[in-house]
A and B are shown apart, each in its own frame.
Chain A
Amino acid sequence: MDLNDLIALADRERADRAPVELGVCLAASCQYSGAEQICRSLSETVVAGGLAGRVRVRKVGCLRLCSEGPLVRAEGEGTPPVLYRKVTAEQAPAIARAAGGAPADGVATADLNAPFFSMQRSIVLENTGRVEPERIESAIAAGAYRSLSLALHEMSPEAVVDEITRSGLRGRGGAGYPTGLKWATVAKMPPGQKYVVCNADEGDPGAFMDRSVLESDPHRVIEGMAIAAFAVGADQGFIYVRGEYPLAIERLDTAIRQARRLGLIGSDIFESPFDFRVDLRIGAGAFVCGEETALLQSIEGRRGQPRPRPPYPAESGLWGCPTLINNVETFANVPAIIREGADWFAGIGTQGSKGTKVFALAGKVRNTGLVEVPMGMTLRAIVESIGGGPPEGSTIKAVQTGGPSGGCIPSDLFDTPVEYEALKALGSIMGSGGMIVMDQHDDMVALARYFMGFCMDESCGKCVPCRSGTVQLYRMLDRIERGVAAPEELERLEALCDMVKHASLCGLGQAAPNPVLSTLRFFRHEYEAKLIGKNGEGTHSPIAR
């Protein structure tokens, strides 16, 4: 396939639009709420009602407002789009028959002009909810693989690396390492076998950004990887997906097969000398495999245990070869940067954090779902405007970012902008994008214990500070939570946090104390209130050593 074929295919697909298009969200969350049945019911009504020439039902990806699913988006010529929410199979015929006129009676709709939608800015998610993830033609009509063609024909590998560097894109997996620098390091390694790896082991509890991207627009990620491979000189890619995401695995598998069939991956892509193959690797439920060296071990079919760095994977990764590892969202930014240029991307966001960030907003907030905002937006805007504030009877107390490696930010600091450095300064991290809102009923010590329990279970056992430290920290937190800890135990807790943070081998252990340290920093009174000898509840008990 060459560029002309691609354009012709896109034109054909675009010409094939019906006057009214109904997009049913078939990402995991809506699917669990019965979206497939709705899709069937819509299609049946269209056929039975003789509407086939006028109405088309499309299986699209995430429509973002997950808590209100199943969601159906109706788009008709000359009428504003309508987003139906909490749709039932019984309501489907009415939606199909409304067919672009006034919204169907008796079906709840969401206001598409509400801040939840209007304050978002989409780069990574620009085609999410628009394209059909299981049809490559649909992705191509939306522009997929055009950036790859552009890179292959009009740019040199060095120019691609330079473009990414100038864009200021930083790793979206959590740590925020400059993507261009990483690419340049791999590109500078001597020619020979190199690999590109996509980290789709989204293990943070409370995070579903990568799942949504993979389920909604998988070709975007494959295209980003192919561009990266061209830039660094790799010809083989791996996507390492969590085993807990069966739908994402299925759609990626389909996407890879379709791209291969059209020659968009494989040999001599776009009639250039560039070859690139992609294979899927399925994780098996080990959080530590999100750590890059552990992930590489797992791809090689071994126990996912990290190793000390250096050497970094950029120098010595898969089977000892230079390997570029980026997160799903990082790769998903790449086609847009190549298409629009580095300056465009660098114009969005803040000084140190460019572009947008996708968040998975959940917890004690009215609107939960998938959110993409420009970097630098305040937490308040995200939680209160986009999220719609707390549900009735609830007062927001804090938001947790970065999962078990992150921290809690109290509501009085909600004017903090979301950017790597600002969140770090507060003892949290940007993380991969999980954002859980908590209210007055949430006990911060219990939360810290919860995350420590998670890290304890997930510690791979290789290094002592993490293996034993997380167990001891969990026990200490448990004693505090149960109200049997003496005041001096709080100091011991802090000392051990410091040790685990500084002595652990990999990010899992190094970051495991973060939820404790951050809740201690902002909610110390909650810890102190549970200690023996406080609140006049007796003195040090001999049990509470």
Chain B
Amino acid sequence: MFRTAGTTRSPRAGAVASPGEDAARFEVIDLEMKRHRFRQDALIEVLHVAQEAFGLLRDDVLLHIARGLELPPSRVFGVATFYHLFTFAPRGEHSCTVCTGTACFVKGAERLLAIVEELTGGRAGETTPDGRFSLATTRCTGSCGLAPLAIFDGEVVGHLSEEEVARRVGGWTGHGSE
């Protein structure tokens, strides 16, 4: 959750990768598999690298990994869908991840999330249909001294007030796409 909506570089919604870019990304995956000597227990490590390269896990990428590690596709899909950090949908232009850990919860994270949802018209865990905003929640980033906090386009901002959230998200909605 933290990575998918916060820090990974990923293609924007609707952006189509050129075949050359794709080939380079597959090569990154192949290198990682080789580094692990194609051991099947490296599946999760390889999935992390694949998601880092592609920004999401596409079906053809998962099949490629299944072939490389000689695992049944069902196993690869089963593992990829089990863990929250893996994502299968393209990310929006902007992302906002609100921490909903206990410390943030008692300091009003739900209200902050509601403001973000209202301003963007999106819902946590989804990307808006126009591909502009990806909203997510994370169950604790482990920086509870900064509660409540959220991650705006990869930047972690702590001690958030409702006004600050509105200002940041308003900046995205107000100035059109950058």
In the assembled complex, the Cα of A302 lies from the Cα of B147 at a distance in Å of 34
Measured CB to CB, the closest approach of chain A to B178, in angstroms, equals 23
Please tell me if the beta carbons of A285 and B41 are within 8 angstroms of each other in the complex: no
CB contact list, B62-107 vs A, under 8 A: 75, 78-79, 82-86, 100-103, 105-107
In the assembled complex, the Cα of A206 lies from the Cα of B41 at a distance in Å of 31
Please tell me if the beta carbons of B3 and A246 are within 8 angstroms of each other in the complex: yes
Please tell me if the beta carbons of B158 and A33 are within 8 angstroms of each other in the complex: yes
Please tell me if the beta carbons of B142 and A245 are within 8 angstroms of each other in the complex: yes
Q: Does B111 contact A (CB under 8 A)?
A: no
Known: A205-B139, A281-B44, A302-B75. 6 other contacts (CB 8 A): A32-B149, A67-B146, A208-B143, A208-B144, A243-B2, A299-B41
Measured CB to CB, the closest approach of chain A to B105, in angstroms, equals 6
Q: Which of B86, B140, B156 contacts A204 (CB 8 A)?
A: B140
* Complex interface: chain A residues within 8 A of B40 (CB): 301
Q: Does A403 contact B (CB under 8 A)?
A: yes
Please tell me if the beta carbons of B103 and A206 are within 8 angstroms of each other in the complex: yes
Interface flags, B40-66, vs A, CB<8A=1, else 0:
111111011000000000000000000
Known: A32-B156, A244-B2, A284-B44. A66 touches B144 (CB 8 A): yes
Measured CB to CB, the closest approach of chain B to A211, in angstroms, equals 4
Which residue of A has the minimal Cβ distance to B146? A29
* Complex interface: chain A residues within 8 A of B146 (CB): 29, 32-33, 66-67, 69
Question: Which of A265-273, A350-358, A360-368 has 4 or more CB atoms under 8 Å from chain B?
Answer: A360-368
CB contact list, A99-121 vs B, under 8 A: none
Please tell me if the beta carbons of B143 and A28 are within 8 angstroms of each other in the complex: yes
* Complex interface: chain B residues within 8 A of A400 (CB): 102
Question: Which of A158-166, A434-442, A504-512, A517-525 has 4 or more CB atoms under 8 Å from chain B?
Answer: A434-442
Please tell me if the beta carbons of A302 and B3 are within 8 angstroms of each other in the complex: no
| 7 A-B pairs with least C-beta separation | A66-B145, A284-B83, A206-B102, A285-B84, A205-B101, A362-B144, A301-B43
Please tell me if the beta carbons of B44 and A436 are within 8 angstroms of each other in the complex: no
Interface flags, A61-86, vs B, CB<8A=1, else 0:
00001110100000000000000000
Measured CB to CB, the closest approach of chain B to A83, in angstroms, equals 15
Measured CB to CB, the closest approach of chain A to B62, in angstroms, equals 14
Interface flags, A357-388, vs B, CB<8A=1, else 0:
00010111000110000000000000000000
Please tell me if the beta carbons of B139 and A243 are within 8 angstroms of each other in the complex: no
Please tell me if the beta carbons of A286 and B102 are within 8 angstroms of each other in the complex: no
Please tell me if the beta carbons of B82 and A286 are within 8 angstroms of each other in the complex: yes
Q: Does B128 contact A (CB under 8 A)?
A: no
Q: Does A426 contact B (CB under 8 A)?
A: no
* Complex interface: chain B residues within 8 A of A126 (CB): none
Which residue of B has the minimal Cβ distance to A443? B106
CB contact list, A266-307 vs B, under 8 A: 281-287, 298-304
In the assembled complex, the Cα of A368 lies from the Cα of B143 at a distance in Å of 10
Please tell me if the beta carbons of B142 and A202 are within 8 angstroms of each other in the complex: yes
Please tell me if the beta carbons of A284 and B158 are within 8 angstroms of each other in the complex: no
Measured CB to CB, the closest approach of chain A to B119, in angstroms, equals 23
Q: Does A454 contact B (CB under 8 A)?
A: yes
Please tell me if the beta carbons of B44 and A362 are within 8 angstroms of each other in the complex: no
* Complex interface: chain B residues within 8 A of A450 (CB): 102, 105
Measured CB to CB, the closest approach of chain A to B7, in angstroms, equals 7
Q: Which of B3, B45, B107, B145 contacts A369 (CB 8 A)?
A: B145
Q: Which of B82, B142, B156, B157 has the most CB of A within 10 A?
A: B142
* Complex interface: chain B residues within 8 A of A363 (CB): 102-103, 106-107, 144, 147
* Complex interface: chain B residues within 8 A of A204 (CB): 140
CB contact list, B5-54 vs A, under 8 A: 7, 40-45, 47-48
Measured CB to CB, the closest approach of chain A to B142, in angstroms, equals 4
Measured CB to CB, the closest approach of chain B to A307, in angstroms, equals 15
Which residue of B has the minimal Cβ distance to A305? B82
In the assembled complex, the Cα of A208 lies from the Cα of B86 at a distance in Å of 23
Please tell me if the beta carbons of B79 and A301 are within 8 angstroms of each other in the complex: yes
Measured CB to CB, the closest approach of chain A to B114, in angstroms, equals 14
Please tell me if the beta carbons of A362 and B2 are within 8 angstroms of each other in the complex: no
Please tell me if the beta carbons of B142 and A28 are within 8 angstroms of each other in the complex: yes
In the assembled complex, the Cα of A298 lies from the Cα of B80 at a distance in Å of 12
Q: Does A207 contact B (CB under 8 A)?
A: yes
Please tell me if the beta carbons of A285 and B101 are within 8 angstroms of each other in the complex: no
Please tell me if the beta carbons of A436 and B102 are within 8 angstroms of each other in the complex: yes
Please tell me if the beta carbons of A298 and B103 are within 8 angstroms of each other in the complex: no
Q: Does B120 contact A (CB under 8 A)?
A: no
Please tell me if the beta carbons of A303 and B143 are within 8 angstroms of each other in the complex: no
In the assembled complex, the Cα of A21 lies from the Cα of B169 at a distance in Å of 41
Please tell me if the beta carbons of B82 and A244 are within 8 angstroms of each other in the complex: no
In the assembled complex, the Cα of A244 lies from the Cα of B158 at a distance in Å of 17
Which residue of B has the minimal Cβ distance to A31? B156
Known: A301-B79, A363-B102, A454-B139. A284 touches B48 (CB 8 A): yes
* Complex interface: chain A residues within 8 A of B101 (CB): 205-206
